[in-house]
Structure 1
Amino acid sequence: MNPTVTIPSSNLAPNSGFETDPTVDYFTHGNGTFTWTTDAANNGNSSTKIVSSQPAGSYARWLSKTDIISGQANNDYSASVWMKTINVAQYGMLVINFWDESLNYLGGYESDKSMTGTSDWTEVTVQGNSPSNTSYARIEFRLYGPGELWIDDVNLSLTKTIPTPVPSSTPTPVPTATPSGYTSDHPGMYLNANEIDAIIKKVDSGQQPWKEAYDKFMNEDVPAALNTKIQSVTYGGKVPPSGDIHDYFSETPYTSDGVYNPYADKSDYYGAIAVGKAVRNLGLAYALTGENKYADKAVQLINAWSVNPETRMNPKFTDFNGQSYVEIPITLTGMFYGADLIWNYQGWNVADKNVFKSWVGDISTSRGRSKESTPTNYENWKVLFVSSSAVITGDNNDMDWAFQYWKELVPIQMDEKGQMVNELRRTRSLFYSLFSINAMTQTAEIARHRGIDLYNYKTDDGRGLELAFDFHAPYLAGKENWPYQEIRPDLFEYATFELAHSFKQKPSYKDVIDKAGRPVYEKRTMGPVTLTHAK
């Protein structure tokens, strides 16, 4: 074994002792109270602090600004910090992660989870190797679950382990931690770059059904998206009960189950529909054509809704007068899809993009990670919202939570036939059954792009997406009569079966598509699914 020499760099962490205002170099994310405090310090007079009553599974964090620490590719990094805890139900954690020149997340490393309960100042460390295209390094100090966490004396350094020249020996590799999480390449939510290239080739060669779907999309949907007015929750509608016009407010949509109230104030909901639909269509148009005008318009809509201080929506779910939690997931997931498709557009201001990422993380966290005892379609859309927001934020913990909860919901919501049992009591039982399956399928599509196969996931007794597809297909195709109450038999979720057919080319799935008639359109989040996912 060759002897080695390890050469550490100086401390790369800005304001490492937090003796001056940390908000110059660091920012915060999550639900909690974030302070620069003198009530405890490992050294000097000051530290940073997080106090949170967040539920288990959620986390709050201080983070170095993403572009403030220059990174070097293919280097070993070492980070340490001193932490103190009081009544921490889960744990405190140190994280280092890496970003490319366009601020795309490349992966990261997490410390162990030993900082739990009540502990005096303790050093926490983590090591890892930077990817080949690293331009920036970021350090994070996370509090998982409720409790109090102090942070002080952070150190980040890079090292090179250089073997000394002993001719007959072979250097021993220096072990590093295993990167956590999934690829965070953009685009990568429902489509990746290779899939987009394949669509373009099919359209260019006139292949059907892609050419017809493309023409309809570019001639009808895209011009409408370009003409979409700037949307904001601050424009019109009633003032929310909070008195803050930046809060999302939407009156309850129903007079009874499945029966709409035509007099409800839905201004913010209609605005969310418009911005989600337009940003998605503009993002897809940019991905397929490369024309900047589509990305420019998408950025304008994103900034008005979530970035500009005068017009942005407060990044949180609100609960005024029983308003529906499902409205935000079924609309803004489309905005995330479009943002993912334009992510690498050079005309998107980096500072605005970072504000948007923070906004997405905040609104996702605000929904909480509680689990309903009798889950309905709301829970499926919550899972989709968390996983789609994690595409934007690069938050692997949220992605893990979403995929795990998706699996937990299958045996609770689905019986051995494939029926969505918690929807069968509804007056629109078939519609809401398909509404649940739609969200489950979209989450499976996000998982597929991260190497996780939820399409083929089955419980021990065979429950899973395929069973749900198989059970519902004959009713949608008109081959059997639905045996439960359905007061609106003219409004169904056919588009899900374009993805089902993409997953497995069963004739029963194609029967549903034929009944609907191509090109099929998923009206909430995914848009022209025949164009993007047909087989």
Structure 2
Amino acid sequence: MKSKLSMIIIFLAVCLTTISAQDLKIKICKEYPRLIMSKQDISQMRKNIKSGDEPWKSTWIEFKSTVDKYLSPSWKINVYKGNDVTVFYKKTIRDASAARDLALAYHITKDKKYAEKSVQIMEAWIAPDTLPASYFDPEIAYPNMGMMVARSTFPFLYAYDLLMADKLVSEKTQKRFAEWMRICEVRIKEGAKRWEDNNFFDKQYYQNHLVADAMGLMGIGIILNDVNLVQYAVDSKDNNRDVLDLIEGMILIEGQEPYYREPIKLPTQTGEIMDRYRHYEIGGQWQDYVTSPNRGLQYCGLSTILLMISAEMGRNNGIDLYNWKAKTGEQIKLPLSYYADFYITKDASIKGGFYKGEDSWINVNESTNYSIWEVGYSRYPREKKFAEVLKSNKRGSQELHLLGPVTLTHGKKTN
């Protein structure tokens, strides 16, 4: 009897250590902000900056200098109404990022000039009779549409969420913004379908584009209070690449198979990201496109960012993705742990040498992703290695793709 009881206790312990899909109860927060930051997060951000301590003091000075430029008459809003999704991406992410940063500056200072400019940018983008992203030429960047729409519009979702927290968006603008996001939802789903219909463009079954699609749909669902859309994005039998599928498929466990076209068969290690094959030059996946070599760390970082943004959104809406673990062991903490060493040592040749030659992505490149660990350390504060990444780099010197000044929004003391 005692032995049987022990077995039951062990069984229950194993079951409770992993959060299953059934435990991910989606409950969209009724109030704004609810996308990335909560009211408590905003309060802590203001408190950190007011303290005058580092890294927040110097980061705020630099951030404010950048944001103030958006208030200048020389900085122009640049709405794109054309049918080239690559141009849409560049112009949208520029203005959306400005709107996000202005909304953050408003919450830090409570100076409405920042909020008013943020709203002005947003309203300019939804002013055309035919909303941007209503149509894209399928002959241009055919595989990229969903990813580009999802990523470029996300900072607008972030800005909108922050502005709505203080009821700074008119009902007319709310309605029009919702109409625009529904159009973006259609484009993202259409883009995702292109991948499925084309056998994931030469069997790229798990890849950063797919993570962007799920992230974008999840964000739109949260902002528009659409539980069904969030469910579809996170965990749905109708979506073969929902967030849970992507955590399991994107994150590698030692010995799992990488992308089949990697020309040199080096073993996979726990925590690597499937996008590691971007280390190689590979063509033929779509027409005459050839991937640029030595970008494995860049794209593994990008996919990690997109997965973490999904986890950030879940945090305020009843979905604990940070502690969710697939049956085969994949979880978001693993790539943070694996890739941290590259940003600490500044040596791309470590851990078997797969990424040898990619030192620029961990040293001087403007797309270096070390600020991921600002978010990572805030969610896993017991991970000393994550703090070591921050100590080994100049905190606050780089914004994080889509999330912006994460040293201000997420940063914690490392000692």
TM-score, with structure 1 as normaliser: 0.57
Match of 1:414 among 211, 229, 251: 251
Task: Give the CA deviation at 1:479.
Answer: 6.1
Q: Deviations over 1:212-236 (max 9, x none)?
A: 3222212x221122233122114xx
Q: Structure 1 residue 387 and structure 2 residue 218: aligned? A: yes
Distance 2:310 2:60 in 1: 24
Distance 1:305 1:320 in 2: 24
Distance 2:326 2:166 in 1: 41
1:16 corresponds in structure 2 to: none
Distance 1:347 1:499 in 2: 27
1:402 corresponds in structure 2 to: 233
Work out the percentage of aligned pairs sharing the same amino acid. Answer: 23
Distance 1:315 1:306 in 2: 12
CA contact (8 A) 1:316 1:362 kept: no
Q: Structure 1 residue 221 and structure 2 residue 66: aligned? A: yes
Q: Structure 1 residue 424 and structure 2 residue 277: aligned? A: yes
2:141 corresponds in structure 1 to: 322
Match of 1:419, SS state, is coil
1:231 corresponds in structure 2 to: 78
C-alpha RMSD over aligned residues: 2.3
Distance 2:328 2:90 in 1: 42
* Higher relative strand content: 1
Q: Structure 1 residue 516 and structure 2 residue 393: aligned? A: yes
1:194 corresponds in structure 2 to: 40
Task: Give the CA deviation at 1:516.
Answer: 2.5
Task: Give the CA deviation at 1:303.
Answer: 1.5
Distance 1:283 1:362 in 2: 24
1:358 corresponds in structure 2 to: 179
Give the length in aligned residue pairs.
328
1:262 corresponds in structure 2 to: none
Match of 1:502 among 369, 378, 400: 378
- TM-aligned CA distance change 1:367 to 1:289, over 3 Å: same
CA contact (8 A) 2:251 2:274 kept: yes
Match of 1:211 among 57, 61, 66: 57
1:338 corresponds in structure 2 to: 159
Match of 1:477, SS state, is helix
Equivalences for residues 162-173 of structure 1 within 5 A: none
Distance 2:122 2:224 in 1: 15
Please identify the structure whose Cα radius of gyration is greater. 1
- TM-aligned CA distance change 1:216 to 1:402, over 3 Å: same
- TM-aligned CA distance change 1:379 to 1:499, over 3 Å: same
Q: Deviations over 1:77-130 (max 9, x none)?
A: xxxxxxxxxxxxxxxxxxxxxxxxxxxxxxxxxxxxxxxxxxxxxxxxxxxxxx
TM-score, with structure 2 as normaliser: 0.73
Q: Which has the higher contact order (CA 8 A, sep 6+)?
A: 2
Q: Deviations over 1:377-436 (max 9, x none)?
A: 111111111111123211111111222211111222222111112432442111111110
Q: Deviations over 1:269-319 (max 9, x none)?
A: 331122111111111112222222112111111122123327x41345653
Match of 1:294 among 67, 89, 114: 114
Equivalences for residues 78-227 of structure 1 within 5 A: 181-218=27-64, 220-227=65-72
Distance 1:499 1:276 in 2: 21
Distance 2:165 2:312 in 1: 21
Distance 1:517 1:454 in 2: 28
Task: Give the CA deviation at 1:517.
Answer: 1.0
CA contact (8 A) 1:498 1:529 kept: yes
Distance 1:381 1:229 in 2: 28
Structure 1: 5+ residue stretches without partners? 1-178, 235-244, 251-265
Match of 1:516, SS state, is coil
- TM-aligned CA distance change 1:518 to 1:295, over 3 Å: same
Task: Give the CA deviation at 1:248.
Answer: 4.3
AA in 2 matched with 1:484: F
Distance 1:319 1:494 in 2: 35
CA contact (8 A) 2:84 2:140 kept: no
Equivalences for residues 264-283 of structure 1 within 5 A: 266=87, 268-283=88-103
Distance 1:316 1:275 in 2: 20
CA contact (8 A) 2:149 2:188 kept: no
